[in-house]
Amino acid sequence: MPNLGEHYDDAGGQYLPEGDHLVTVKSARFFTYHSGNEGVEFVLADKRGREIKVAFSRLGTALWMIASFAKACGLTREQCNAFDTDNLGAYQRYLVGRAVNVTVVKGAVNPSTGKQYSEVDKDHRAWWPADIEREAEPATAKAPMPSAVNPATAANSTAPSTAAGETSDDCPF
């Protein structure tokens, strides 16, 4: 006779549900995207053991996103300056074991399976330091997206540049 105890889940599910969560970086690994580009994947877990993975490209033009995540994990500019992004040991030494808050959302429907999975909201860089409590924004407080970039303010933008030939600080803080 099958034993239900083998399927009993004390944690309430093994994956993080939608919402804001305080998590710890549990592991890091390198991988290659189907495009051939190199990436790094982190396993994040809350205090109940529920996990979610988040992956970042290691292309030079995308390192600003890893830097943003590292800053939220508590890394200083000096630590980022010493961080060798081509060395897995750097990710394990500097980020594994650190706490960070993340927002989990439902991702796009996977066309091959028809399923929708939870993911860390990378589109909005929804991670912030573990010692800061995020305040909820009223739905009416959000400003509409501008239909065009204002050239007067674009020059003062702090977003990383990806134009050919330009370089930017990979640790933008």
Walk me through the domains of the chain, giving residue ranges and CATH numbers.
Answer: 14-131 (2.40.50)
Question: What pLDDT, on a 0 to 100 scale, did the predictor assign at position 72?
Answer: 95
pLDDT by 10s per residue, the chain, length 173: 666 666 555 545 688 899 999 999 999 999 999 999 999 999 999 999 999 999 999 999 999 999 999 999 999 999 999 999 999 999 999 999 999 999 999 988 989 999 888 899 987 778 999 988 766 554 444 444 444 444 444 444 444 443 444 444 444 44
H or E element at residue 94: helix 88-94
Residue spans of beta strands (DSSP E) within 84-149: 99-109, 116-120, 127-129
State whether the Cα torsion 128-131-132-134 is positive or negative.
Answer: positive
Question: What pLDDT, on a 0 to 100 scale, did the predictor assign at position 165?
Answer: 42
Model's pTM, two decimal places? 0.70
